[in-house]
């Protein structure tokens, strides 16, 4: 007979009592049985099972063994001792008591079957259907003596407790071993961090030493070169060949370029070593200040500058000023040949993140060269076209990356350029 068609002798839908202290196990068994067409009663332990059965006698009892209060073995003994339930099949369903001696003891108590949890549902339902139709046979060596029952019951409970204790000890040992492994990994990581920190400290000291050398040792000969070229120009008169005047001016220009390069290298070194001090910055206000400072050097020049109001972000205020100074200086420089130069600062959203864009209508660049823009000493225009050392945008990238952000550029030759950067809030 199929499980869904299982009936009692009175042709009513079979009722099954499910006894399990764990809600999830009880709910799963009830769901499987209901889906097969059975009526289901539920209980959390042996005492509750007897109360439920007294009010609404089931056609079969399905019980776990390890439960608080009255466990499955005690329930089975009480069940088979009660005249009202002796003819009702009693089935053990356990994942803990699975040894042959456990099954033997269960059957001697009067149980009709012993099923293991985790079995295939179809096999489980087929066994339930068979038990509902099959006559009940009790073994000849059924446990009836109370003393024998409690002795064997206690032996099995003690053995299961010992097994559980052994499992806990093994689990504790595994946890202890894993903790030791984690501690070992932690020690290795701390050692690597300490080594890396020492390396960074050494690198910073080398950078400081380099900066000192650049600032003092290299500037001295440049000052001398500047002084000599200045004296030469002062000494020249109308009879001096033009080539000599050009050479002297070229020397001064080269010395000045070297001085600017030194300044920018020192700035790049400084922003690399500086400890970040994050705070809320009014980007719009800072941008207006930067533009006003830059335009003071070219008072006769008129540039249409638009800065979006209400822009705020969390960043190092001093380093953010360096970023804006380089970006606006770059935009002013490359719009120098435009009759109506325009520069804007605005906030945008790209790929789900907030970005800030400095856009101009200057000479632009080939988009294929965009990645070169942020590399030190990389220039896309000749020195005689636009002056510069090729350090400014590299400094911008270094600062933005230190804030955990990103920077990139878009442009086209003759159509201007847009420099975008993002700084995440921390």
pLDDT given at position 6: 41
pLDDT given at position 392: 81
pLDDT digits (tens, 9 = 90+) for 52-71: 999 999 999 999 988 888 88
Average pLDDT, the chain: 81
Q: What is the DSSP string of 235-275?
A: H--TTS-HHHHHHHHHHHHHHHHHHHHHHHHHHHHHHHHSP
Beta-strand relationship, 353-360 and 417-422: antiparallel
Which three-class secondary structure state does DSSP give residue 363?
coil
pLDDT at 161 over 70: no
Task: Give the DSSP H/E element, type plus range, for residue 18.
Answer: strand 15-19
Of 93, 63, 94, nearest to 78 by C-alpha is: 63
pLDDT given at position 382: 61
Q: Which of 80-84, 249-253, 354-358 has the lowest mean pLDDT?
A: 249-253
Distances (CA, A) of 183 to 186, 187, 189: 5, 6, 10
pLDDT given at position 99: 77
Distances (CA, A) of 121 to 99, 102, 116, 148: 21, 23, 11, 35
Position with higher pLDDT, 186 vs 118? 186
Of the ranges 14-18, 114-118, 187-191, 402-406, the best mean pLDDT one: 14-18
pLDDT digits (tens, 9 = 90+) for 2-57: 444 444 433 468 999 999 999 998 999 999 999 999 999 999 999 999 999 999 99
pLDDT given at position 54: 94
Q: Where are the alpha helices (DSSP H) in 44-120?
A: 46-55, 72-81, 100-108
pLDDT given at position 350: 87
With bands split at pLDDT 50, 70 and 90, how would you rate the model's confidence at 147?
A: low
pLDDT digits (tens, 9 = 90+) for 218-242: 667 777 887 888 888 888 888 888 8
Backbone angles phi, psi at 406, to 5 degrees: -135, 155
Of 100, 36, 160, 5, nearest to 62 by C-alpha is: 36
Predicted TM-score (pTM) of the model is 0.48
pLDDT digits (tens, 9 = 90+) for 273-307: 677 889 999 999 999 999 998 888 888 888 999 99
Strand partners, 74: none
Of 286, 272, 343, nearest to 320 by C-alpha is: 286
């Amino acid at each position: 007979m199929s499980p869904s068609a299982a009936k009692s002798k009175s042709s009513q839908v079979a009722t099954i009592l499910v006894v399990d202290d764990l809600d999830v196990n009880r709910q799963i068994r009830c769901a499987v049985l209901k889906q097969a067409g059975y009526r289901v009663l539920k209980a959390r332990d042996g005492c509750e099972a007897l109360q439920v059965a007294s009010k609404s006698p089931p056609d079969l009892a399905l019980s776990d063994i390890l439960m608080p209060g009255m466990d499955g073995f005690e329930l089975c003994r009480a069940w088979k001792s009660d005249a009202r339930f002796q003819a009702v099949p009693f089935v053990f369903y356990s994942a803990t008591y699975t040894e042959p001696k456990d099954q033997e003891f269960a059957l001697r108590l009067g149980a009709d079957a012993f099923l293991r949890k985790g079995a295939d549902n179809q096999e489980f339902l087929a066994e339930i259907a068979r038990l509902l139709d099959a006559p009940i046979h009790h073994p000849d060596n059924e446990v009836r003596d109370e003393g024998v029952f409690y002795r064997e019951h206690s032996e099995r409970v003690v053995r299961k407790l010992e097994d559980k204790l052994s499992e806990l000890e093994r689990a504790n040992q595994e946890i202890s071993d894993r903790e030791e492994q984690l501690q070992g990994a932690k020690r290795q990581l701390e050692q690597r961090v300490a080594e890396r920190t020492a390396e960074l400290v050494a690198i910073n000291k080398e950078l400081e030493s380099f900066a000192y050398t650049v600032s003092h040792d290299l500037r001295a000969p440049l000052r001398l070169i500047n002084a000599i070229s200045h004296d030469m120009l002062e000494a020249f008169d109308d009879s001096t060949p033009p080539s000599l005047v050009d050479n002297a001016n070229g020397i001064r220009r080269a010395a000045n370029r070297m001085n600017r390069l030194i300044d920018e290298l020192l700035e790049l070194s400084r922003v690399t070593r500086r400890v970040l001090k994050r705070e809320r910055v009014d980007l719009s206000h800072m941008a207006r200040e930067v533009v006003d400072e830059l335009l003071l050097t070219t008072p006769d020049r008129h540039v249409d500058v638009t800065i979006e109001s209400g822009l705020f972000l969390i960043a190092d205020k001093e380093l953010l000023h360096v970023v804006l100074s380089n970006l606006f200086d770059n935009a002013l420089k490359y719009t120098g040949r435009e009759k109506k130069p325009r520069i804007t600062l605005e906030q945008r959203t790209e790929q789900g993140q907030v970005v800030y864009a400095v856009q101009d209508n200057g000479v632009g660049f080939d988009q294929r060269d965009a990645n070169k823009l942020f590399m030190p000493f990389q220039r896309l225009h000749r020195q005689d076209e636009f002056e510069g050392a090729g350090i400014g945008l590299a400094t911008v990238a270094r600062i933005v990356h230190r804030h955990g952000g990103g920077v990139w550029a878009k442009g086209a030759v003759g159509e201007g350029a847009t420099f975008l950067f993002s700084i995440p809030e921390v």
